[in-house]
């Protein structure tokens, strides 16, 4: 399927579950259609429409899980991208969007920009199919078509803003068809503030489904079999080397690294739930954490970053898994000197401001501080949870300002206030820094795509940061060369033909 290809199939013969009539829980005339509203405006209207259409419960849950900050609109990419990415990265999983064509276009584009190499399913709608409940019927038909156990373990349907605001009831889809799990989630921009947190919406829904399956009876083993040692599941997308590195840190404790959540295939969800403890590497996975806790698994915040972070994290993991003290001491003695050495060998001597929307900003900040950087500000678009408390407290004790739900305005104000040697941030922050001739690095592509944990992470940032710092002079030259270009009366309005291009009869 492509975004332009409607899924239109014959209605299933033995369709279990809801129909158009069930979907029309509210008379069509009363459905507050939110068509036309978007993330550029109309959030309040969308929200009240969604509440009136029966989505209050899910919106209330999102408001608790992902409390909003100073801005009530996403300031980065469409949040649904997070859920879409989690679905697309999972093997034998079909992911279908239900939303406005323009939103789906953007989401599909972004997915392929980030190398999805997978089909994005799309069920289109118009005003009529939206208000009559026919859209729900179309989605159901699409789901039946995709529920082929030879190809798929799961089908994920994601309601974007308009279908959520219009109350399209994905909860009325069958929970399973031919053994294929069906998962419907609402991921509106007016309910989920960042794409990071939208990853949690789908990861949490999948863990819940898998937990219920495991509670009902035996489930599939991991492909590679079960670990002989108790495992620690790792929550948060991370650089692949980091998962391997964490495994090495756990080994002397008598533990092994479990699956990374979001997982890459369905059966890994069971293995993730079957752990001794959960490492909340990325602290915003609130719904996922709820499922682990419902399965009786202790969760541990922070991550093994830098010397002090790794020392504290090993201790927390040892506590959660009842590892004897002498074993913990042996593990720390084995690893910490190597981290100290790696940090000392790759120092950073610069004033830095840091911001991003991946949710790992505080961890990066710790490594920077331990590398010697004069870090003044960390802004994260994600909300505050208890799983990053240790990192926040540690950073604040070093004089770093930590801002959760940081807006672009907060990040820019910090850059103006602290005049850093290097600004690490999102695209608009980097853009602004370049205008000011401040060397800058894009967090998502250049910082979060490097190892961060344990000895591999210590010192890995310094290479890219020190290279960027060496550009300062070049930036200053460019700034003086382009001074004034593109602003005020040099903003591109040509009042005369360029010199040398005059032709007979007038200007060319
Ligand atoms: S689905 Fe995403 S792109 Fe579309 S209106 Fe909502 S937040 Fe904006």
How is the chain split into domains, by residue range? 20-193, 231-340, 347-483
Q: Which of 41-50, 135-144, 379-388 has the lowest mean pLDDT?
A: 41-50
Residue recorded with tokens 């800058």: 440
- Any ligand 1 atom below 6 A from CB of 160: yes
Going from the Cα of 357 to the center of ligand 1, the distance in angstroms, rounded, reads: 17
How far is 313 from 305, CA to CA, in rounded Å? 8
Q: Ligand 1 pocket check: which of 66, 81, 100 to mutate, most ligand atoms within 8 Å of Cβ?
A: 100
Confidence band, pLDDT 50/70/90 cuts, at residue 493: low
Check residue 24 and give its pLDDT. Answer: 41
| Element containing residue 356 per DSSP (H, E) | strand 351-356
Question: Is residue 5 scored above 60 in pLDDT?
Answer: no
Q: Ligand 1 pocket check: which of 83, 99, 193 to mutate, most ligand atoms within 8 Å of Cβ?
A: 99
HEC secondary structure over 263-281:
CCCHHHHHHHHCCCEEECC
H helices of 295-426, where?
306-320, 325-345, 361-370, 389-397, 408-418
Check residue 494 and give its pLDDT. Answer: 65
Q: Ligand 1 pocket check: which of 46, 50, 189 to mutate, most ligand atoms within 8 Å of Cβ?
A: 189
Q: Which of 20-34, 92-106, 122-136, 174-188 has the lowest mean pLDDT?
A: 20-34
Q: What is the CA radius of gyration of the chain?
A: 25
- Any ligand 1 atom below 6 A from CB of 80: yes
Q: Which two tokens mark 110?
A: 């972004």
Q: Do domains 231-340 and 347-483 have the same CATH topology?
A: yes
Check residue 459 and give its pLDDT. Answer: 83
8 Å CB contact between 432 and 412: yes
pLDDT tens-digit map of 178-216: 999 999 999 999 999 999 999 999 999 999 999 999 999
Check residue 267 and give its pLDDT. Answer: 95
Give nearest CA residue, ligand 1 atom 7. 189
pLDDT tens-digit map of 218-250: 898 877 777 889 999 999 999 999 999 999 999
How far is 38 from 32, CA to CA, in rounded Å? 15
Residue recorded with tokens 């079957």: 274
Check residue 83 and give its pLDDT. Answer: 97
- Any ligand 1 atom below 6 A from CB of 193: no
Question: Is residue 175 scored above 50 in pLDDT?
Answer: yes
DSSP 8-class letter at 155: E
Half-sphere exposure of 431 (CA within 13 A, CB side): 4
pLDDT tens-digit map of 439-455: 999 998 888 888 999 88
* Cα dihedral across residues 399, 402, 408, 409: positive or negative: negative
Q: Ligand 1 pocket check: which of 36, 79, 160 to mutate, most ligand atoms within 8 Å of Cβ?
A: 160
288, 298, 303: which is closest to 321 by C-alpha?
298
How far is 10 from 478, CA to CA, in rounded Å? 61
Q: Strands 502-503, 506-507: parallel, antiparallel or unpaired by DSSP?
A: antiparallel
Going from the Cα of 290 to the center of ligand 1, the distance in angstroms, rounded, reads: 27
Confidence band, pLDDT 50/70/90 cuts, at residue 1: very low
Question: Is residue 137 scored above 80 in pLDDT?
Answer: yes
Check residue 36 and give its pLDDT. Answer: 54
Check residue 54 and give its pLDDT. Answer: 84
Give nearest CA residue, ligand 1 atom 3. 103
Mean pLDDT of 346-370: 96
Q: Does domain 231-340 have CATH number 3.30.460.80?
A: no
Question: Is residue 472 scored above 90 in pLDDT?
Answer: no
Check residue 21 and give its pLDDT. Answer: 42
Superfamily of domain 20-193: Nitrogenase molybdenum iron protein domain (3.40.50.1980)
Cα separation values, 291 from 153, 203, 214, 220, Å: 20, 10, 12, 19
Fold classification of 347-483 (topology level): Rossmann fold (3.40.50)
Question: Is residue 395 scored above 50 in pLDDT?
Answer: yes
Q: Which two tokens mark 408?
A: 């672009």
Question: Is residue 133 scored above 80 in pLDDT?
Answer: yes
Cα separation values, 198 from 194, 201, 359, 388, Å: 6, 5, 12, 18
Check residue 12 and give its pLDDT. Answer: 31
Question: Is residue 30 scored above 70 in pLDDT?
Answer: no
Check residue 43 and give its pLDDT. Answer: 77
Query: How are strands ordered across the β-sheet holding 256-261?
Result: 256-261, 231-235, 277-279, 299-300
DSSP 8-class letter at 172: G
How far is 459 from 466, CA to CA, in rounded Å? 11
Question: Is residue 79 scored above 80 in pLDDT?
Answer: yes
- Any ligand 1 atom below 6 A from CB of 103: yes
pTM recorded for the entire structure: 0.88
Check residue 49 and give its pLDDT. Answer: 84
- Estimate to the nearest angstrom the gap between the alpha carbon of 273 and the chain centroid: 21
Residues comprising the chain, all counted: 508
How far is 21 from 261, CA to CA, in rounded Å? 37
């Amino acid at each position: 399927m492509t975004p332009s290809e409607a899924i239109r199939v014959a209605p299933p013969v033995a369709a279990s579950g809801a129909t158009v009539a069930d979907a029309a829980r509210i008379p069509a005339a009363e459905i507050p259609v939110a068509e036309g509203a978007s993330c550029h405006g109309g959030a309040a209207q969308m929200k009240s429409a969604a509440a009136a259409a029966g989505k209050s419960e899910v919106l209330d849950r999102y408001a608790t899980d992902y409390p909003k900050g100073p801005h009530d609109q996403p300031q980065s990419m469409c949040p649904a991208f997070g859920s879409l990415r989690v679905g697309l990265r999972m093997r034998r999983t079909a992911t279908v969007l239900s939303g406005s064509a323009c939103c789906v276009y953007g989401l599909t584009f972004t997915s392929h920009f980030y190398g999805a190499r997978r089909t994005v399913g799309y069920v289109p709608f118009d005003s009529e199919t939206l208000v009559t409940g026919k859209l729900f019927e179309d989605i159901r038909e699409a789901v039946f078509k995709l529920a082929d156990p030879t190809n798929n373990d799961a089908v994920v349907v994601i309601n974007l803003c308009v279908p959520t605001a219009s109350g399209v009831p994905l909860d009325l889809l069958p929970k399973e068809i031919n053994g294929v799990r069906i998962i419907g989630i609402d991921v509106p921009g007016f309910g989920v503030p960042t794409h990071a947190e939208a990853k949690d919406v789908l990861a949490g829904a999948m863990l819940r489904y898998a937990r219920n399956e495991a509670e009902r009876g035996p489930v599939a083993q991991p492909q590679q079999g079960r670990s002989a040692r108790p495992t620690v599941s790792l929550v948060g997308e991370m650089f692949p080397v980091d998962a391997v590195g964490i495994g090495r840190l756990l080994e002397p404790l008598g533990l092994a690294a479990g699956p990374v959540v979001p997982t890459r295939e369905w059966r890994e969800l069971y293995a993730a739930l079957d752990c001794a403890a959960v490492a909340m590497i990325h602290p915003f996975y609130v719904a996922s954490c709820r499922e682990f806790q419902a399965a009786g698994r202790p969760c541990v915040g922070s991550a093994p970053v830098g010397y002090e972070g790794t020392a504290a994290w090993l201790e927390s993991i040892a506590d959660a898994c009842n590892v004897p003290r002498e074993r913990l001491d042996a593990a720390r003695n084995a690893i910490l000197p190597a981290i100290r050495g790696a940090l000392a060998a790759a120092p950073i001597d610069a004033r830095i401001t840091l911001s991003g929307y991946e949710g790992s900003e505080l961890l990066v900040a710790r490594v920077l501080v331990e590398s010697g950087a004069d870090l003044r500000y960390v802004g994260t678009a994600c909300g505050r949870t208890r799983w990053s408390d240790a990192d926040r407290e540690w950073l604040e004790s070093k004089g770093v300002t930590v801002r959760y739900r940081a807006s672009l305005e907060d990040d820019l104000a910090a850059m103006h206030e602290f005049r850093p040697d290097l600004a690490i941030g999102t695209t608009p922050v980097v853009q602004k820094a370049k205008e000011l001739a401040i060397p800058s690095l894009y967090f998502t592509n250049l910082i979060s795509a490097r190892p961060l944990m344990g000895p591999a992470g210590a010192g890995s940032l310094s290479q890219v940061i020190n290279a960027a710092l060496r550009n300062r002079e070049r930036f200053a030259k460019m700034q003086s060369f382009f001074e004034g270009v593109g602003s005020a009366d040099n903003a591109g309005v040509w009042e005369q033909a360029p010199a040398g291009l005059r032709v007979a009869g007038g200007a060319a």
